[in-house]
Amino acid sequence: MKKTLVAHLPDETPQELRRFAAGAALYDSSCSAGAKVWLIEKGRGYYLKSAGRGALEREAGLTKYFWAKGLGAEVLAYISGESDWLLTAAVPGEDGTHERYLSDPKRLCDVMARALRALHELDHHDCPVPDRTAEYLAAAEKNYRMGNYAPSRFPDRSGYRSADEAYALLRAEKAALQSRVLLHGDYCLPNMIFDNWKLSGFVDVGCGGVGDRHIDIFWGIWTLWFNLKTDRYRERFLDAYGRDKADESILKVIAAAEAFG
List the catalytic residues.
186
Residue 64 Cα distances to 13, 32, 50, 202, angstroms: 22, 22, 17, 11
| Closest-CA residue to 131 (of 81, 93, 181, 203) | 181
- On whether the CB atoms of residues 211 and 181 are closer than 8 A, the answer is yes
CA 35 remoteness from chain centre:
14
d(CA 87, CA 77): 5
| Closest-CA residue to 220 (of 211, 202, 233, 203) | 233
Amino acid at position 189, single letter: L
**What would you measure as the largest C-alpha separation in the chain, in angstroms?**
57
| Closest-CA residue to 204 (of 226, 221, 222, 219) | 219
